[in-house]
A and B are shown apart, each in its own frame.
Chain A
C-alpha cells in the first residue's frame, strides 16, 4: 500500500477544513497542512501565492491550529511551517492541542533540531538529492514517521515530469532507512505519482493541489484529483 499525503495551505479560504474531509474521502493516508509564513524560501510560485493569500485574509499559525482542533478529519495531520514559526515558544503545545501528530520544517536542517521543542510530535526530516551519503544516514536515523525525499534541486511547484534525481534519491534512502520514504516537490499528475511510488513508499502532492484551489476548485473537484492520485498509486501497489 503506497502512501498518499496531499498538502493544503491552512486558512487559504473560509471553511478550508472541508478540503481535509475531501482528501480523506478520496483515500489520502494523511494530510500536510501548511501554516503560512511571510517568507517561504523553499516554496515556488504556487505555494508562495497560497501563503500570501492566506495571510492576507488574516490567517495566522494559531488560527490554522484552532481550525484543526475543531476539524473532524480522521487521518493524521502533519503540520509544515518555517523555522521562524516552529521555533517560537509554545509552538509544540499548540500543535498537540490541535491534534497534530507530525511536523515538517523545510528550513530547519538536521543540525538545528535541538532548538525545536515539540514533545509528542513526530518530526520528519527532509533529504535532498545533494545530501551526501553519511548525512543521508544521519537523516534516516534522526527522522520520525517518514523521510521526506525532495525529488529535485529546486523549489516546490509543478513540473512536467518526474526528475531523475527523485528515483536516485528514493533508492539511496530505501537502502539506509526502514521508515517510509515519501517523495515530494514537483509531483503534479497521477502518472508522475505512479512513477514516484514505484521507487518510494508514497508521495506528497502540494502545488498541484494548491493551484486547483487558487483557481477556485472546491472540495469535490480537488477531492476528485486526489482520488485520481490514489488510483494511480493503487495500480503501483497491485503490480508489485
Chain B
C-alpha cells in the first residue's frame, strides 16, 4: 500500500472497530437493511431443479435485495461508517456496476456525493448500470488504462483517493484491498451467511446443508456466505470464472494493498482476467479465500462462460428466477457436479444467488442460444 494511504486506512480500521462494537451503529445498519434493503432475504427451494439434479438445491436470494445484488449489504455499512467518520463524499470502483449502483444508492440515501470508477470495457457492456448510477446522481468515471476492467478501476480509485483523502471515503466493493477492507467487507456481508444458517436450521431436518456454494470474483458474497457456515460441517465451495480464477490458478502476490493469490506471469506481471461476467473479472481473490483454500476448509473450482449462461437460462426456466451471470457460475458447478462424487446424489446444497440477471439481458440475448 502506498505510504500516502496508510493513515487513511488506519483511520478506517479504527473507525470500523469502534463502530462494529457500538450497538447504536449496528442498530442503524440493521434498520436500513430491513427497511431499505428488504432483509432478511428468503431461502427458496429450487424444487424442479432439485428433482432434475437429484440433489436438494436451496437458493439464498440476494437477488431480491434492493438494487438487485448483495453489494448493498456492504455499501450501507461502509456509507454509515463514512458518515460517522465525517467524510463528505464516497468513491468506489465497480466491475459489473452492481457495487457502483449500490454505492450511488447509499450516497443518495445518506446525502453523500458519489464518484464511481469503472473500466471502459465494463462501461460498454453494462451500459444499463452506468445509466442507473447517473440517474441516482453519481458521477461515473470511465477508466481507459490497462485491461479497462475491474482491476484498473480499482487502481484508478486508489489513485484518486490519494488526492482527496481527507474528505472522501473509499467504499471498496469486495473482500480485497488493504486492511481493514477484506475483514470489514466480510463482516458487512456475513448477514448473508448468518441468515442462511438460521433459515437452514429452521427448514432442514439436518439443520445444516451438506454443501455451501457461492461464486467468487474478489469473493465478497462467498466470504459473507461462508462466514455463517465456516464453523459447521458444511463443505464450502467457491466457484470462479474460468478466466478469472485467482484462487484456483493464482500464485501468491501483492496488488491493491493486499497479499493473496493472483493470476500472473513468470515475471510477476498481473494477468488480465477474462470473463463474460464483469463482476468476476478480477485476477486476484480476497486474502481470506486464499487462507481458507490453504487450510483446506474451502475448495475453489471454476465454471466456463458457456456453463454459466446455460445455468442462468436453466434456472430461469425451471424456477422462474433469472440469476446474474456471476451467480450462475455457482449454479453451473452444482449442475455439473450433481450426482458425481464431488456432489453426491441426495446431498443438500445451499447456493447463494448474489444478484439478479436483469443487468445481463443484453449479454444473454447475444450469448444464449434460446430454443
Chain A positions near chain B (C-beta within 8 angstroms)? 37-42, 44, 48, 52, 55, 60-62, 82-85, 87-88, 106-111, 125-132, 135, 139, 150, 153-155
Contact = CB atoms under 8 A, between A and B. Distances in A.
Given A83-B254, A154-B162, A154-B163, A128 B268 contact: no
13 contacts: A38-B270, A38-B271, A39-B255, A42-B159, A61-B268, A82-B254, A83-B254, A87-B254, A108-B254, A128-B4, A131-B7, A150-B3, A153-B163
B38 interface: no
B155 interface: yes
A150 B264 CA distance: 29
Given A84-B268, A130-B5, 12 more contacts: A40-B155, A60-B267, A60-B269, A61-B268, A82-B254, A84-B262, A85-B268, A87-B254, A106-B3, A107-B254, A128-B3, A153-B162
B158 interface: yes
B1 A109 contact: yes
B54 interface: no
B364 interface: no
A41 B177 CA distance: 12
Given A130-B8, A130-B165, A107 B1 contact: yes
A150 B3 CA distance: 9
A109 B6 contact: yes
B2 A107 contact: yes
Given A60-B267, A126-B3, A39 B254 contact: no
Contacts of A41: 2, 155, 158-159, 255-256
The 10 tightest CB contacts between A and B, nearest first, are A128-B4, A38-B269, A83-B254, A60-B267, A85-B268, A128-B3, A38-B270, A41-B155, A84-B253, A126-B3
Nearest to A185: B4
B346 interface: no
B115 to A, nearest CB: 16
B165 A153 contact: yes
A130 B4 contact: yes
B86 interface: no
A131 B270 contact: no
Contacts of A42: 2, 159
Interface in B265-293: 267-271
Interface string B1-34: 1111111100000000000000000000000000
Nearest to A37: B269
B162 A155 contact: yes
Interface string B143-181: 001100001100100110011010000000000000000
Given A84-B253, A109-B1, A44 B159 contact: yes
Nearest to B154: A41
B257 interface: yes
Contacts of A127: 3
B140 to A, nearest CB: 19
B151 A39 contact: yes
A42 B2 CA distance: 7
A129 B162 CA distance: 11
B159 A88 contact: no
Q: Is the interface of A mostly helix, strand, loop or mixed?
A: loop
Contact of B6 (A88, A131, A154): A131
Interface of B: 1-8, 145-146, 151-152, 155, 158-159, 162-163, 165, 253-257, 262, 264, 267-271
B8 A88 contact: no
Contacts of A82: 254
Among B159, B163, B262, B270, which residue has the most Cβ atoms of chain A within 10 A? Answer: B159
B301 to A, nearest CB: 25
Contacts of A155: 159, 162
B269 A55 contact: yes
Contacts of B158: 41
Q: Report which residue of A55, A84, A154 has the largest number of chain B beta carbons within 10 angstroms of its beta carbon.
A: A84
B146 to A, nearest CB: 7
B268 A132 contact: no
Contacts of B155: 39-41
Contacts of A111: 6
Contacts of B8: 130
**Most-contacted residue by chain B among A60, A61, A82, A155 (CB, 10 A):** A155
Contacts of A109: 1-3, 6
Contacts of A153: 4, 162-163, 165
Given A39-B270, A128-B3, A153-B165, A107 B159 contact: no
A61 B269 CA distance: 9
Contacts of A110: 3
A166 to B, nearest CB: 13
A62 B268 CA distance: 11
A141 B78 CA distance: 36
B257 to A, nearest CB: 7
Contact of A131 (B3, B253, B269): B3
A109 B4 CA distance: 9
Contacts of A40: 155
Contacts of B4: 128-130, 150, 153
Contact of A84 (B6, B7, B264): B264
A143 to B, nearest CB: 11
B159 A132 contact: no
Nearest to A48: B145
A111 B163 CA distance: 22
Contact of A62 (B5, B159, B267): B267
Contacts of A39: 146, 151-152, 155, 255-256, 270
